[in-house]
Amino acid sequence: MAEEDELSREWDEASESWANFVQEGKDYYREEMNNPAAFRIIGNVRGKYILDLSCGEGYNTRILAKREAKVVGVDFSEKMIELARHREKKEKLGVSYYVSDAADLKEFENERFDVVTCFMALMDIERYESAISEVARVLKKNGRFVFSITHPCFEWGVTTSGEPLAEWKYEEGTENTVEKKALYLEIKRYFGITKCEVSWDMKRLAKPFKTTSFHRTLTDYFQALYENGLLVARLVEPKPTSRGVSKHPSLRKHKKIPHSIIIEAIKNDYALAPWCRGPGLNRRQPGLQPGALPG
Beta strands in 119-217 (DSSP E): 139-150, 157-159, 164-170, 182-187, 194-200, 209-215
Does residue 243 lie within any of the structural domains? yes
> Which range is least confidently modeled, 5-19, 84-98, 178-192?
178-192
Q: How many CA atoms lie within 13 A of 240 on its CB side?
A: 22
Does residue 283 lie within any of the structural domains? no
Q: Which domain holds residue 148?
A: 2-152+216-276
The 10s digit of each residue's pLDDT in 217-264 is 999 999 999 999 999 999 999 999 999 999 998 899 999 999 999 999
pTM to 2 decimal places: 0.87
pLDDT for residue 281 is more than 70:
no
Does residue 188 lie within any of the structural domains? no
Q: What is the rounded radius of gyration, in angstroms, for the C-alpha atoms of the chain?
A: 20
Q: Beta strand 194-200 with 157-159: parallel, antiparallel or unpaired?
A: antiparallel
Say how far apart CA 8 and CA 34 lie, in whole Å.
24
Phi, then psi, of 179 in degrees rounded to 5: -95, 30
Q: What is the mean pLDDT of the chain?
A: 89
**Residue 111 Ramachandran class (φ > 0 left, ψ -120 to 50 alpha, else beta):** left
> Residue 71: pLDDT band by 50, 70, 90 thresholds?
very high
Residue pair 47/24 in contact (Cβ under 8 Å)? The answer is: no
> Which range is least confidently modeled, 39-48, 225-234, 264-273?
264-273
Does residue 190 lie within any of the structural domains? no
Does residue 103 lie within any of the structural domains? yes
pLDDT of residue 272: 58
pLDDT for residue 271 is more than 60:
no
* Total count of domains within the chain: 1
- Residues 123-138: what's their mean pLDDT? 97
Does residue 211 lie within any of the structural domains? no
pLDDT for residue 294 is more than 50:
no
Does residue 180 lie within any of the structural domains? no
